Amino acid sequence: MRAILALLLCLIASAAQAQNPTCPTRPAGQSDNSCASTAFVQQNPLISIAAFGGRGDNTVDNTTPLNNALAALTGTGGCVYFPPGKYRFNTSVSFTYPSGTFSVCILGASQDSTILTWPSAAGGLAFTLNGIGSSIHIRDMTLTTGTTSGGNAILIQSSFANANPAVTAISDIYRVVIRGDDQYAAFADWWTVGVNVANVSNIQFENMTIQGPATPNGTGINLLGLPGSSTFGVEYNVAKSNFNNLTTGIVYGSFIQGVTIDQTSFTSNNGTSNGISVPAAQTGLLSELTITNSQFNVPTNALVFSTALGNVLISDSLCIARANSNCFSLGNSPTFNLTGNELASSSTTGTNGIIVGGSGGNGIILGNVIAGFATGVTLQANASNVIVSENVYSGNTANISNASNAANNTGFDLPWLAYTSAPSCGNATITNNSSRFRTVGKTTFIELDLTITALGTCTGTTFAIALPNTAQSAGAISGQEVANNSNSVACRITAGGNTSGCFKAAANAFAANDRLVVSGVYENQ
C-alpha cells in the first residue's frame, strides 16, 4: 500500500514539473530561449539582445540580432536591453517605424559599461519615424567608432510634413557617451555627427558627452527641419551635457526653432572649434535660442551666427576666449538679450567679446563682465536699437566700438556720438567745433560747440540747430557765449520737434566770432 502511495505522489510531482518547468541558470554566453518562447519575448516590454543571439564579447556581429529584436517589437513598441559588454556591429542598423503610436527604447546598463561599437565601417543607429506618435529613447550606453569620420552615431529622421510639429511624441537621449573607440588612448577616431536630427521635433538631450579627436573634428548635434516642405523642427532641450574637441558642438540648421541649452559645456584644446553655429545660407525663420548656466572654452567662436537667428537669450553663462577668437558673434540677429554673463579673454590679439552685425539690433547687452579683449562690444555699421548698459569692463584695448552711429543705440556704456547739428542763421558761416550726443532709453544728452566765423546776413537774435533725434516733450538746453561778452544762451525744444532755436540773453544779436557752448538733456521719442 505504501509503495502504491509513493508512486502516486511521484506521478503528481512529475506532472506539476511538466506544467511549470524550472529554468536553470545558463552558462555565460548562452543565448538560446530554452525557457522563454518567442511569444513570451514579444509580450515582454523589456527584451534582451541576448535572446536574439546578441553577445557583448566584441567579436560577434550584433547587426542581425538587433535587427531581429527591433522587428519583434509589436503593438506600441518596446525596449531592447543591452547588458554590460561591448557589442560589435559590422554595419549600421536601421529601423523604420510602423504608423500610429510606436515607441522604441534602446537601453544599456550604464555609460562605458554597455558599449555599442562599429570598429571599421561607417555605422551607427538610424531610426526613421512615421508620424506624430513615433518616438525614440536611447539611454545608459556608449556608442563608439573605430575609424575617422565614422558617419552618424545616431540618426533620427522623418519625411512627413507637419503643420504643428510641437504636437508630437517626446523623444530623449539620456546618459549616452558618443566617442571614438580609442578615446582613452590615441584620441584619433571620431564620428562625423554624434546625433543627426532631420525633421523630428521634441527631443530631450541630457547627461550626454560627445567627444571628438585630439585635433577637433566632427559635429556634436546637427539640427535640421524639412526645408523642402517648409516644416519646422521645434523644441530641443540640451542639459547637463559636454561637447569636447568638435569642429562644432551644435549646428542650428534650416527650419529650426526653439533650442534651450542649460548647464552644458563646450570645450576644445586646440584647432578650429565652435560651440554653437548657424551656418550661412540657412532657410526658414530661425528663432528661439536660450542659453543659461553654460560654459564655452573653444578656440574659435563660442557662438557664430552666419544666418540671422532671432529671439536669442543668453544669461548667467561663461565664455573663455583665446587669441583670434570671439565669444558671442551674433551676426544680424534681429532680437537678442545678453544679461549677466562673464566673458574673459587670455589675449587682446584679435579677440571680441560681443559682435552685433550690420543689420542686427533690437537687443540688450546688460550687466555682463567683459575683460581682456581687443574689443569688448562691437556694433557694426547699421546695427541699431541696441541698449548697452551697466556692464563691467576690464583690461580691454577698447571697451566699445560703435561703427553704427545709429541714434537709437542707447545705454550708459555707449560712447558719445558725433552728429551733424547743421547750425544756421541767414547765410552766416558757422563752424561746428563739435556736436555730439548720447541716448539712454528716452533721455538724450547733447553737447554743442559752435563758432560764428562770418556773420553774413545773420542779423537776428536766433539761430537754428538740428537735434539728433525727435523730442517727445517740450524742454530746453542752455549754455554760454564764451568768446565775446559771455552772455548766457538758451535753446528751446518743442514737443515733436527735430530742431531747436537758440538765442542769447536779453535778446542780443549774434556777432562775428561768437563762440557758443551749449549742453543739456531732453526727452526723446
Of 348, 387, 403, 402, nearest to 370 by C-alpha is 348
Q: Is the pLDDT assigned to residue 9 strictly greater than 50?
A: no
For range 381-409, the mean pLDDT = 86
Which neighbouring-strand residues pair with 321? Answer: 345
Radius of gyration of the chain (CA): 34
Global pTM?
0.79
For range 57-71, the mean pLDDT = 97
**pLDDT band, very low/low/confident/very high, at 405 (cuts 50, 70, 90):** low
For range 280-300, the mean pLDDT = 97
- Express each pLDDT in 139-163 by its tens digit: 999 999 999 999 999 999 999 888 8
Q: Please, what's the b/e burial string for 179-195 (b: 16 or more CB within 10 A of its CB; e: otherwise)? A: bbbbbeeebbbbbbbbb
* Higher per-residue confidence, 8 vs 398: 398
pLDDT at 403: 85
Which residues contact residue 179 at a Cβ distance below 8 angstroms, ignoring those fewer than 6 apart? Answer: 142, 143, 144, 189, 190, 191, 209, 210, 211
pLDDT at 38: 52
pLDDT at 342: 98
Q: Is the pLDDT assigned to residue 344 strictly greater than 90?
A: yes
pLDDT at 24: 52
Share of the chain above pLDDT 70, in %: 90
**pLDDT band, very low/low/confident/very high, at 29 (cuts 50, 70, 90):** very low
Q: Is the pLDDT assigned to residue 493 strictly greater than 80?
A: yes
pLDDT at 1: 47
For range 10-18, the mean pLDDT = 44
Q: What is the DSSP annotation of 268-303? A: -SSSS-EEEEE-TT--S--EEEEEES-EEE-SSEEE
- Domains for the chain: give ranges and CATH numbers: 38-307 (2.160.20.10), 417-523 (2.60.90)
Q: Is the pLDDT assigned to residue 42 strictly greater than 50?
A: yes
**Single-letter amino acid, residue 375:** T
pLDDT at 285: 95
pLDDT at 385: 87
What the block records as the C-alpha cell of 75 is 503593438
Which residues contact residue 12 at a Cβ distance below 8 angstroms, ignoring those fewer than 6 apart? Answer: none
For range 410-428, the mean pLDDT = 83
pLDDT at 52: 97
Which residues contact residue 509 at a Cβ distance below 8 angstroms, ignoring those fewer than 6 apart? Answer: 459, 460, 461
Among 193-202, 274-283, 369-378, 414-423, name the one with the lowest average pLDDT: 414-423
* Higher per-residue confidence, 459 vs 209: 209
Phi then psi for residue 252, to 5 deg, are -100, 100
Interstrand relation of 242-244 and 417-418 (parallel, antiparallel or unpaired): unpaired
pLDDT at 16: 42
pLDDT at 313: 98
pLDDT at 32: 53
**pLDDT band, very low/low/confident/very high, at 230 (cuts 50, 70, 90):** confident
Residues, the chain, total?
525
Share of the chain above pLDDT 90, in %: 72
pLDDT at 508: 76
Interstrand relation of 193-198 and 219-224 (parallel, antiparallel or unpaired): parallel
pLDDT at 408: 65
* Higher per-residue confidence, 127 vs 43: 127
**pLDDT band, very low/low/confident/very high, at 443 (cuts 50, 70, 90):** confident
- Express each pLDDT in 97-133 by its tens digit: 999 999 999 999 999 999 999 998 789 999 999 999 9
Q: Is the pLDDT assigned to residue 359 strictly greater than 90?
A: no
Q: Is the pLDDT assigned to residue 28 strictly greater than 50?
A: no
Q: Is the pLDDT assigned to residue 286 strictly greater than 50?
A: yes
Mean pLDDT of the chain: 89
Residue appearing with cell numbers 540688450: 364
For range 184-193, the mean pLDDT = 90
